Structure formats: C-alpha cells, structure tokens
Amino acid sequence: MSARAGGPYLAEAVRMDSDGLVARRLIEAAARSGASLIAETASAVSGWAVLVDPTTGAVYSSPDRAAAAAVSAAAEAGSAVGAGGPAGAGGGRARSGDTDGGAGTTVRQVVGAALVVHAGPDVSARRVELVTRTTAGLLEVRARRAEELTSAEMRLHAVVTRLLLRGDTGLAAEVIGGLTSHATVYRLSGGADPQAAYQAVWRALLPTGARPGAPTLITLLDGDLVVVALHDAARDDGRVLRLIARSAERYGLLGGVADPAPLAMLAAAFTEAGQARAGAAAGHRLVPAAGLGDRALLRIIPPDRLSAWASSLLGPLTQPQRQALEGWLRTGSIGAMAQMLGISRGTARSRLRTAAERLGGLETPLALAQLALALRAPAGGPAETARSAGTGPPAALPTELVDATLARRWATALTEPLDTAQRIALRVWLGHLGSVAPAAEELGLHRTTLRRWLEEIGRLLDVDLSSAAIRADLYLALETLAGPDDSPGALPRRGGRTYQRSATL
C-alpha cells in the first residue's frame, strides 16, 4: 500500500487513538469523584464544564468562576427544570439531550441536572460531542451506582432521627460516628408529590451532609419531611435554610423551623417546628418557630458581645440546670420538661429552684427575658465579668448591649403595628408573666376584652405570643421605648370604660 493510500487510514487511527485516550481519562476521573469528572471534561475541551442542579445551582464547576455563566446558560436552555437531581445523588432520572446554550456552549440534560460544556475556540465540534456524550454517560452510571447506596442511607437517616427524638443521643452517636451539640429542626409537608420533594431535598442537601462532623439528617416521618441540621453551639451557617427554602418554593411545600436547640431538646424543637408550620402559606412557605426571624433582638447584637454577656449570665449554672431552664422555657411546663429530659418532676423542680437561686431569682419578666435571650446566644465568648451565685444577673435591656439609637430603631420597628393602647396592654400583660387576670385588673379591662386585644396584637405582629422567645423580645422592646405615659392610667377612656382606638369608633 502506498503512503498516499495509507494516509487517510493513518489519520483515522490517530484520531481513534486520541478519542480512546480522552475516554479513558474521563472514566478514570469518574471513578475518583464527580468533581474530578467535571474537571477532566473541562480539560478535554480546553474550556470549562459545570454540572448545574435546578435547586442548588452549580454542583461541580471547573473552574469555579464558570459557575455563574453555566447557571445562566442552563436556565436559558430550559434544561435544568426537572424534578430529578444531580448525578451521584440518586433519585429520578431524565432523558439526556443536547441544547445549544450559546456560542461554543452545549447544555445536556442528565439525571435531572444540566451538564454545561463550553469548548475552547480550537476544539472541533466532534470532540465536544464525544466528551459531552461520554461525560453524560458516566454521570448516568454514577447516578445508578449511587441509587444502590441511597436507599440504605435513607433508612439510616430515619433510624438516627428517631433515636434523637427519643433522646437516645448516645446510640445515635454510635450509629453515625459522633454528634454535634446542637441541631435545627425543619418540618415540611404538602406539595403535589411529597416523595419527589423528599428526593429533591435529599439531593440538594447531600453536599451539606457530606461535611465531616456536621451531618444533615433527612427523612419522611409520619407524612412529614423532617430535616435535622446538626451543628455546634453557634447557629448553623444558613446554607441548609437557603436550600430548604428554595426546595419549598419549587415543590409547593409548607414548613416550620425551630430555634437551634441542644440535642437533649430535639423533641421540643420538633414540636415547635410543627407548630410554626401552621402559620406557613404561599408566599411565606417557611416560618420560624420564634416568629420574629430577622426582627429578633439576636440579629442586631454583635455575636461576640452577646456570647460574652450570655456566658456571664449563665456562668453559675451547671449543664443539667441549663437544660432544665431551656426545656421549661421551650415547653412552658415542668411536667413536659421532665418527660423530655427523662427525669422525675421532683428532680425537675429541684433543678429549676437551684438555678433560680444561682441567678438571683426568676420571678420578674426582665429575668425571664434575659434568660430566654442568653439561652439563644451563640456560645464561645469569654464572660465579661466573673459572677458569683446570688449577685443577680447583669442588666440586659437592648440599650445596654447595643448602641441606644440602634436599639430604639429595632424596638420601634418591632412594635410599630401597635397603637398606644395596645402597647400599654401588652407591656402590662408581659409584666404579669402572661397572666390575664391580674393584667386585666391593672388595666381596668374585662378579661375577655384583654384576651381579644391580645389576639389582635398577635395578628398585627404576626407572632405567637405563647413563645417565650417572642415574649422576651417584645418585653425588651417595650421597655426600651417605655416613657412616663406608658402606663394603664394613660389608656384612652370613654364614659368610665377603657377602650381600644379603632377606625370604627
């Protein structure tokens, strides 16, 4: 055979050898990890490659700076719209197909995610097609392999979640290899396809759950989608909240979020999240149990200052006493607190009594407000001053923890929906620790009238007035704004009767 005749065959052989090398490199990368596969894909086309999930955004990106362009290309191509998830996560699978994502960019739908590949200017269309098709196939293989592991892992999440809700933290720690000290509980329900929502949330949170020492438990429990984000004493970084909020919007879920709680209080936090969910609705699909969210006092106090103050206040207490106080404030009942902690009522009362003595008493609304704030503070700050038992807690009005102007601005914004009569009534009621009878007597109101006012106040503020955390913030806000005229004598009266101003009068 002449050299001229052998030329095309030689070129074909060289091309096939080159294609084989590219495929082998992609297979080897896929065996390492999804991130390695995407990085090798980008290298093979001398450009960039990104796997985009419709809920979480860029799952893997090579290089990182390409993520934004890939998410935009996937959205424009309309290929990142399924109910499935990224490869390696398991769940529903979608048909693969290519879409033009713009000059030099290919968008291919694979297992519910979008593989976005942008080739360099000197790379042939044939090479781009080969690399994209091979990578998509490898992502499918990884997804099928992950499906075999996912079912067992989901069952494990369900078991550990039930153990934690029963208070078996020791056994739960043995099962998953260690636990953090606190957790945030989310409870969601509704939507047209709860199973699809469960799969989607599982896939969305999988990268979060993979972080060492900070697993995120996801399970279906009695018809509810339950997520338990484990973290240290400081609040979690908010990533779980953002991902769940996006999933709730996408799948029509309604949910509640409990305040971060020690693992011993997980059952109470689970109940709080369920109660908060009752207030969720379209347009406001995820409701915090505290009801204040960004309006909470915690949001305006510098974390280091808040931590130092809380350490100073709670310093005299032992861990069991702190748990008893937090359980009592969360449940509002000694019996419920005792049951949650697995102790007798007598032991529960003893711990509360000793804690009260060490804190200088818990009979005033200010003391309870201070305690509720301190127990929600992030841990880690050194105590501002050494305190001994019986010296009484340090002052904790917002004006003493933050700038006075900022404190008044926060307090004004929080109570702005209320008129003067409502603010006076709420302040007196909180001053009587939420007891209607003595508050109504001081205000000169009938008990039924005061209850009606309180219902209206709760509606205007969009809060649950039975929450200790909400009562604490409202009390501190009202005390921050209180002046000489904020007393029962200043209530507007007509014909000897106290009345509430309204548009109908």
Establish how many alpha carbons lie within 13 A of residue 99's alpha carbon, considering only the half-sphere containing its beta carbon: 19
Instruction: Give me the mean pLDDT over the 238-246 stretch.
Output: 82
d(CA 242, CA 257): 12
- Residue 438 is predicted with a pLDDT of 92
Beta strands in 214-252 (DSSP E): 216-221, 224-231
Nearest CA to 225 out of 203, 242, 202, 204 is that of 202
Q: Which of 147-161, 204-218, 289-303, 344-358 has the lowest mean pLDDT?
A: 204-218
For residue 448, pLDDT beyond 90: yes
- 95 confidence band (pLDDT: 50, 70, 90): very low
**For tokens 């939507």, what's the residue?**
191
| C-alpha separations of 134 from 39, 107, 141 in Å | 14, 14, 11
Q: Which of 201-210, 315-324, 459-468 has the lowest mean pLDDT?
A: 201-210
d(CA 268, CA 340): 7
- Residue 235 is predicted with a pLDDT of 62
For residue 452, pLDDT beyond 70: yes
Q: Which of 181-195, 230-244, 390-404 has the lowest mean pLDDT?
A: 390-404
Report percent pLDDT > 70 for the chain.
80
3-state secondary structure of 414: helix
- Residue 493 is predicted with a pLDDT of 60
* Sheet of 113-118, strands arranged across: 57-62, 48-53, 113-118, 105-110, 97-100
For residue 96, pLDDT beyond 60: no
Instruction: Give me the mean pLDDT over the 391-411 stretch.
Output: 72
**DSSP state, 475?**
H
CA angle centred on 63, ends 58 and 69, rounded to 5° = 55
**DSSP state, 90?**
-
List % helix, strand, coil for the chain (3-state, nearest 5).
55, 15, 30
**DSSP state, 174?**
H
What is the tens place of the pLDDT at every residue in 252-301? Answer: 889 888 888 888 788 888 888 887 887 788 878 888 776 576 788 878 88
List the domains of the chain with CATH numbers. Answer: 19-146 (3.30.450), 166-289 (3.30.70.600), 298-396 (1.10.10), 404-498 (no CATH)
- Residue 392 is predicted with a pLDDT of 47
Q: Which of 72-76, 85-89, 108-112 has the lowest mean pLDDT?
A: 85-89
- Residue 226 is predicted with a pLDDT of 92
Strand-pairing partners, residue 190, are: 253
d(CA 449, CA 256): 31
Establish how many alpha carbons lie within 13 A of residue 169's alpha carbon, considering only the half-sphere containing its beta carbon: 17
The pair of structure tokens assigned to 16 is 């096939």
Report percent pLDDT > 90 for the chain.
17
For residue 383, pLDDT beyond 70: no
d(CA 13, CA 20): 10
Instruction: Give me the mean pLDDT over the 164-193 stretch.
Output: 83
| C-alpha separations of 329 from 183, 257, 259, 355, 466 in Å | 17, 17, 12, 13, 10
- Residue 131 is predicted with a pLDDT of 92
Angle between helices 3-32 and 125-165 in degrees, nearest 10: 10
Burial label, 164 (beta-carbon count in 10 A; 0-12, 13-18, 19+): buried
Nearest CA to 90 out of 123, 112, 119, 57 is that of 112
For residue 241, pLDDT beyond 50: yes
Nearest CA to 421 out of 398, 444, 399 is that of 444
- Residue 100 is predicted with a pLDDT of 52
Contacts for 228 with CB less than 8 Å, ≥ 6 apart: 161, 164, 183, 184, 185, 186, 216, 217, 218, 266
Report yes or no: 429 and 454 within 8 Å, Cβ to Cβ.
yes
For residue 188, pLDDT beyond 50: yes
Residue 497: count of CB within 10 angstroms of its CB = 10
The pair of structure tokens assigned to 119 is 């080739």
**DSSP state, 503?**
T
Nearest CA to 225 out of 243, 213, 210 is that of 243
Report yes or no: 121 and 103 within 8 Å, Cβ to Cβ.
no
Instruction: Give me the mean pLDDT over the 3-12 stretch.
Output: 47
Instruction: Give me the mean pLDDT over the 179-197 stretch.
Output: 83
For residue 90, pLDDT beyond 50: no
- Residue 232 is predicted with a pLDDT of 77
For residue 216, pLDDT beyond 60: yes
**DSSP state, 235?**
P
Residue 102: count of CB within 10 angstroms of its CB = 14
Q: Which of 17-31, 314-328, 478-492 has the lowest mean pLDDT?
A: 478-492
Nearest CA to 418 out of 426, 407, 410 is that of 426
- Residue 380 is predicted with a pLDDT of 55
Report yes or no: 34 and 26 within 8 Å, Cβ to Cβ.
no
d(CA 456, CA 450): 10
- Residue 172 is predicted with a pLDDT of 85
Q: Which of 100-109, 207-216, 435-444 has the lowest mean pLDDT?
A: 207-216
**The model's pTM:** 0.59
- Residue 166 is predicted with a pLDDT of 84
d(CA 325, CA 350): 11
Burial label, 462 (beta-carbon count in 10 A; 0-12, 13-18, 19+): middle
- Buried b / exposed e over 12-38, threshold 16 CB at 10 Å, is eeeeeeeeeebbebbeebbeeebebbb
- Residue 49 is predicted with a pLDDT of 94
307 or 391, which is more confident: 307
